Chains A and B, each alone.
Chain A
């Protein structure tokens, strides 16, 4: 009964490299959310996807960040040309449906360090 699986758990990248973060939602869940947690901060919403569609990307930086959730395979959060300020914990969550009070299940997060 696997929950949300994120990998890698820890990722180190040099400035200017690309970071790819993967998220496999709970089996049967078609709604995926990405959040970013900066040091000493709460989680901030980045993007909401359903299979093959981006529903709400109002929390995504306009440049260098992209997300996808293909028909087959995990959701991917991609950060191009990383900078020190991208260092954070990135959490993925999934839900079975959309609606009032729906529970979101979270993964353990990927901790990105940019050196």
Chain B
């Protein structure tokens, strides 16, 4: 079935550093891809999305490009802030559009001042 794999382990980095979180997927057809962010004590919020190959989603300085050839949707930000500290989840919804999401395990990001 459809699945999402995120890089293992938390990510700790200094303020203004470059952030990359890897995400690869396995799916039949052409899924839509999402990044969700979960701040402490909160629910998940949609950060960005892409619905077809080569689309780039962007929001709040974060970007991710839908790469069909490498089945990837890596999240990047050029200069992180302390307020970006959160858990980031990569997810996909299947081609048939029932909006059922398959999530990766998530990555805890800690930004140190």
Are A106 and B102 in contact, CB atoms less than 8 angstroms apart?
no
- Give every chain A residue within 8 A of B43 (Cβ-Cβ): 3-4, 6, 91, 106-109
Given contacts A100-B32, A101-B51, contact A33 B44 (CB under 8 A): no
| Chain A residues, Cβ within 8 Å of B36 | 106
B97 engages A99 (CB within 8 Å): yes
Q: Mark B15-33, 1 if CB is under 8 A from A, else 0.
A: 0000000000000000010
Question: What is the CA–CA distance of A6 and B41 in the complex, to the nearest angstrom?
Answer: 13
Residues in chain B near residue A33, CB distance under 8 A:
99-101
Q: Could you tell me how many residues of chain B have their Cβ less than 8 Å away from some Cβ of chain A?
A: 24
Residue B69 interfacial (CB < 8 Å) = no
**Interface residues of A toward B: which range?**
20 to 34
Do B97 and A45 touch (CB < 8 A)?
A: no
The answer to whether B97 and A104 have CB atoms under 8 Å apart is: no
A100 touches B51 (CB 8 A): yes
Let me know if B35 is at the binding interface, CB within 8 A. no
A9 nearest CB across to chain B (Å): 9
A56-82 vs B, CB cutoff 8 Å, 1 = contact: the mask equals 100000000000000000000000000
Interchain Cβ contacts under 8 Å between A and B, 19 examples:
A3-B43, A31-B99, A33-B101, A41-B105, A45-B100, A48-B99, A56-B100, A91-B43, A91-B44, A93-B101, A98-B97, A98-B98, A100-B32, A100-B97, A101-B51, A105-B46, A107-B43, A108-B41, A108-B42
Q: 3 closest Cβ contacts across the A-B interface?
A: A42-B103, A101-B51, A106-B43
